Amino acid sequence: MKAVVIGAGLGGLSAALALAPMPVVVVSPCELGAGCSSAWAQGGIAAAVGSGDKPEYQFKDTIAVGNGLNDEDIVRQTMDDGPSVIERLEKYGVPFDRDAQGNLSLGLEAAHSKNRIVHAKDATGLAIMMALIKAVRTTPTIEIIENARAIELVLNDGTIHGVILEKGGKEIRLNTPYVILATGGAVALWRDTTVPHENWGGGLALAAKAGATLGDLEFLQFHPTAFDIGRDPMPLASEALRGEGATLITESKERFIDELQARDVVARAIWEQMSQGHRVFLDARTALGTSFAERFPTIYAICKSAGIDPTTAPIPVRPAAHYHMGGIVTDKHGRTDVPGLWACGEVACTGLHGANRLASNSLLEAASFGWHVAEDIKGTPSHEAIEPLREKSNLVHIRDAARRLSPEEKAQRIASIRALMSDNVGVIRDAKGLKSISEELAPFAEVSDRALVGLMIAQSALKREESRGAHYRSDFPDSRAEAVHSRIRLSDLEHLT
């Protein structure tokens, strides 16, 4: 029986390759390599492979950033996997940078206590994806369906029996007891975002409608300095610029924050300036001057294409939604609580990141869990996968009726949901904004998957009456003594819709 992998980023392709020689279908809404965050990752993949480093040190760094919400067993498992993930990727032909002695070149990123960022120049994600795409295209047991997206999970007594795809206006039903959701994050649901448009949380809607539990949805990492030049998605002005001494200033040249503080602290400081009507700029004129183009060629090219010369003018920036820590709750094998449904990569909430993500742990998580999911499926006979493991779900599975809107109506609906998310579930939240967006989205949640996902995120943020990690409530600025995960199911929304 073929397994079906929905989504073709690092999580999905890792799972498909690890499942071979078991037959697999991989579904991607675009040509392989397009429409996924994995190919956009620049920095690299964190793994304790350097001399003097140990998975235990990376474990400690990850826990320190996660603000009490990491699942320690999952963190340990993932950090221990680091070296074998790098080895596996190299076997597929990923050209990671090495020094003259042949050792992996390891970068250092914020909140890592050791140099452990394995990279391929400044386009690591693209290098990884190119190698894996070549591998999946040449694996005879992997069938690839491009330009198709999953629109419904087929269930029988609460158990996965298949998936329905939409391709070129037609529906295709694939029968399978094994579905792997690897659809990436929900971050394109925000207006100000750094991720591809395909990653708006469609996988969360599919899972929720199938009866799966979602968790920690309120935890979303905002990148403090995305280019504010009217592009969608917004290009990143890397943290490395601040590391090199670039400063954050307002239009009246006022500095307002120590630029090297944690990502969420800097993002909040910028957000506050903007709420007071200021514009914010990243000023690299003194720190980098004429060396800018040589040190940061990609960012320099973006500046030039926007008519900005960063050697003589500051770069306009604003915080943008960047990474979703929450997702479909899974165990250490990537199993969800719906029999026959697994999830891996950014769509999953494994407990690795807790309330905040340590930089470059996300590519590691996607590759590591893709492999764990495959191992688990290979050890799960199809009759076991389709046997109900818990009480039957009575949920009615409704298609995303937004598909029936005209293109103009659909674009308008999407734009308004994205604006609502950025304005009310942004860097700084409060009950007023979260209640207001819930009231706006609730009437559409039954007919629009985007509204449904936005509503679930807003409700999770409303219920967390504290500030922790990436979730900041101006009306509850302190953390509670006890760190508690949030969980939400579709049935929790019944009174709202």
Ligand X SMILES: Cc1cc2nc3c(=O)[nH]c(=O)nc-3n(C[C@H](O)[C@H](O)[C@H](O)COP(=O)(O)OP(=O)(O)OC[C@H]3O[C@@H](n4cnc5c(N)ncnc54)[C@H](O)[C@@H]3O)c2cc1C
Nearer to ligand X, 45 or 214 (CB): 45
Nearer to ligand X, 30 or 240 (CB): 30
**Contact with ligand X (CB under 6 A): which of 3, 4, 26, 36?**
36
**Contact with ligand X (CB under 6 A): which of 82, 345, 351, 354?**
345
Q: Is 366 in the site for ligand X (CB under 6 A)?
A: yes
**Contact with ligand X (CB under 6 A): which of 58, 159, 176, 199?**
199
Contact segment (CB under 6 A) with ligand X among 131-139, 300-308, 339-347, 464-472 equals 339-347
Contact segment (CB under 6 A) with ligand X among 81-89, 180-188, 396-404, 488-496 equals 180-188
Q: Is 226 in the site for ligand X (CB under 6 A)?
A: no
Cβ 350 to ligand X, closest distance in Å? 11
Q: Is 213 in the site for ligand X (CB under 6 A)?
A: no
Contact segment (CB under 6 A) with ligand X among 73-81, 139-147, 195-203, 258-266 equals 195-203
Q: Is 469 in the site for ligand X (CB under 6 A)?
A: no
Q: Is 45 in the site for ligand X (CB under 6 A)?
A: yes
Cβ 60 to ligand X, closest distance in Å? 18
Nearer to ligand X, 236 or 462 (CB): 236
**Contact with ligand X (CB under 6 A): which of 183, 350, 356, 486?**
183
Q: Is 299 in the site for ligand X (CB under 6 A)?
A: no
Tally Cβ neighbours within 10 Å of residue 364: 26
Contact segment (CB under 6 A) with ligand X among 131-139, 312-320, 355-363, 438-446 equals 355-363
Q: Is 326 in the site for ligand X (CB under 6 A)?
A: no
Nearer to ligand X, 216 or 467 (CB): 216
Q: Is 29 in the site for ligand X (CB under 6 A)?
A: yes
Cβ 387 to ligand X, closest distance in Å? 26
**Contact with ligand X (CB under 6 A): which of 19, 27, 214, 417?**
27
- Taking Cα atoms as reference points, which of 40, 62, 108, 116 lies closest to residue 325? 62
Q: Is 400 in the site for ligand X (CB under 6 A)?
A: no
**Is 263 labeled as catalytic in the residue annotation?**
yes
CA-CA distance, 320 to 237, in Å (whole number)? 11
Contact segment (CB under 6 A) with ligand X among 8-16, 271-279, 300-308, 488-496 equals 8-16
Q: Is 125 in the site for ligand X (CB under 6 A)?
A: yes
- Return the HEC string of the chain: CCEEEECCCHHHHHHHHHHCCCCEEEECCCCCCCCCHHHHCCCCEECCCCCCCCHHHHHHHHHHHCCCCCCHHHHHHHHHHHHHHHHHHHHCCCCCCECCCCCECEECCCCCCCCCEECCCCCHHHHHHHHHHHHHHCCCCEEEECCEEEEEEEEECCEEEEEEEEECCEEEEEECCCEEECCCCCHHHCCCECCCCCCCCHHHHHHHHCCCCEECCCCEEEEEEEECCCCCCCCECCHHHHHCCCEEEECCCCECCCCCCCHHHHHHHHHHHHHCCCCEEEECCCCCHHHHHHHCHHHHHHHHHCCCCCCCCCEEEEEEEEEECCEEECCCCCECCCCCEEECHHHEECCCCCCCCCCCHHHHHHHHHHHHHHHHHHCCCHHHHCCCCCCCCCCCCCCCHHHHCCHHHHHHHHHHHHHHHHHHCCCCECHHHHHHHHHHHHHHCCCCHHHHHHHHHHHHHHHCCCCECCECECCECCCCCCCCCCEECHHHHCCCC
**Contact with ligand X (CB under 6 A): which of 11, 66, 82, 107?**
11
Count residues near ligand X (CB under 6 A): 42
Nearer to ligand X, 434 or 456 (CB): 456
Nearer to ligand X, 70 or 438 (CB): 70
Q: Is 37 in the site for ligand X (CB under 6 A)?
A: yes
Q: Is 82 in the site for ligand X (CB under 6 A)?
A: no
Tally Cβ neighbours within 10 Å of residue 406: 8
- Taking Cα atoms as reference points, which of 208, 90, 235, 287 lies closest to residue 457? 208
Q: Which residues of 105-139 are buried (b: 16+ CB within 10 A; e: fewer)?
A: bbbebbebebbbbbbbebbbbbbbbbbbbebbeeb
Q: Is 363 in the site for ligand X (CB under 6 A)?
A: yes
Q: Is 362 in the site for ligand X (CB under 6 A)?
A: yes
Cβ 367 to ligand X, closest distance in Å? 9
Cα of 308 vs its chain's centroid, Å? 30
Q: Which of 116, 149, 191, 263 is catalytic?
A: 263
Q: Is 18 in the site for ligand X (CB under 6 A)?
A: no
Q: Is 198 in the site for ligand X (CB under 6 A)?
A: yes
Residues taking part in catalysis: 263
Residues that bind ligand X (CB under 6 A): 6-12, 27-30, 35-38, 40-45, 125, 149-150, 182-184, 194-195, 198-199, 202-203, 236, 323, 345-347, 360, 362-363, 366
